[in-house]
Copies of this chain bind each other. A is one copy, B any other.
Amino acid sequence: MFRSDNERTDLALERATIATSRAGQQIPGMDVREEEMDGIKITRVSVHTPQAGAQIGKPPGRYFTLECPALRFRSRETLKHVAGIIAAELSELAGLPRQNDVLIVGLGNWQATPDALGPRVVSQLMITRNIREHLPQELGGRLNPVAAISPGVLGITGMETIDIVRGIVEQVRPELVITVDALAARSPSRLLTTIQIADTGIQPGSGVGNKRPGINQETLGIPVIAIGIPTVVSGAAIAMDALDAYFQRFNPHARATLDSVGDFLGQELRDLMVTTKDIDVEIMEMSKLLASALNKATQPAISEEEMLDYLQ
């Protein structure tokens, strides 16, 4: 129903829902499985064919999404529970732990709070690649090699992120890359309460029609797992929601006109982003959660207590 420009979302889950609703039927070559427990909903979208991928604007692959509205309340118990699920899923999708190097890449801009998720996660990781050989064998032998970098965005470096990452990968020769990034969602209710893990890597910018090369197996030659959390929705999304709510309530028959209004609005709202009022605290909490899940998944032989010894 919505035009693609107003549908901008990095979540496969949202794209699958929109595409299915638009098609009025199941998308062939894609299957969606859901489970729910203890207030946590997990959705697994599998895109099996390029045709299905084209319909949702995402490359074929597996997309795991965890939704937990209670993350908003930031209780230690919830954060720990979710970190455990994410660690397990990362291990599954990424085949962790790995005996050989894993490179974790924090994407995004550390100078803009809503885009700072990746760099903040990286600053809390357990970096081991350089210290294993200097440790007693008893300990060093249980550590898997992890390296990490936050390369900065195009405006800061003047270079495409893929070029920086590809260059490092060719020198350091990791077995796997994991990217961490702040995402855009379509629905504001998903901000900071949803986590996506994909085995397809990432596509900078909004996907469809974008010619910039992705950070993925095709461009790096090794598997790329992308983990992300939506921190912004577009201004257009909010506007369209308002109109849709109005139509649903007052004028259901006029919903067909929504498209043209959206078109008109898009222009004005393009330079806006919508985020939460507590974004500073929420980014901090969610970056801790992801760092903890990544540390756990990459270093299963190290207890949480022991892990704290290596973290600064």
Contacts and interface: CB of A to CB of B under 8 A. Distances in A.
Interface stretch (A33-41, A82-90, A201-209, A238-246): A238-246
Nearest to A126: B158
B276 A109 contact: no
A250 B257 contact: yes
A123 B110 CA distance: 12
Given A164-B171, A243-B243, A238 B274 contact: yes
B269 A238 contact: yes
A159 B243 CA distance: 41
Interface size class of A (residues with CB under 8 A): 35 or more
Interface stretch (A15-23, A48-56, A58-66, A301-309): A301-309
A33 to B, nearest CB: 29
Contact of A274 (B131, B157, B257, B272): B272
Contacts of A245: 261, 264-265
Interface in A68-100: 74-76
A166 B114 CA distance: 31
Contacts of A306: 76
A306 B251 CA distance: 49
Q: Which of A123, A156, A241 has the most CB of B within 10 A?
A: A156
Contacts of A305: 76
A150 B114 CA distance: 22
A268 B146 CA distance: 33
B169 A269 contact: no
Interface stretch (A24-32, A175-183, A222-230, A278-286): A278-286
Interface string A188-217: 110100000000000000000000000000
Given A235-B238, A238-B274, A261-B250, A152 B149 contact: yes
Interface string A100-133: 0000000001011111000000010001111100
Interface centre among A111, A114, A246 (most CB of B within 10 A): A246
B274 A274 contact: yes
7 contacts: A74-B309, A76-B305, A127-B155, A149-B151, A168-B168, A238-B272, A272-B277
Given A76-B309, A164-B172, A167-B172, 20 more contacts: A111-B113, A113-B113, A127-B155, A127-B158, A130-B154, A145-B158, A149-B157, A150-B152, A164-B167, A167-B171, A188-B269, A235-B274, A238-B242, A238-B269, A242-B265, A243-B246, A245-B261, A249-B261, A250-B261, A272-B274
Interface of A: 74-76, 109, 111-115, 123, 127-131, 145-152, 154-159, 163-164, 166-172, 188-189, 191, 235, 238-243, 245-246, 249-251, 254, 257, 261, 264-265, 268-269, 271-281, 284-285, 305-306, 308-309, 312
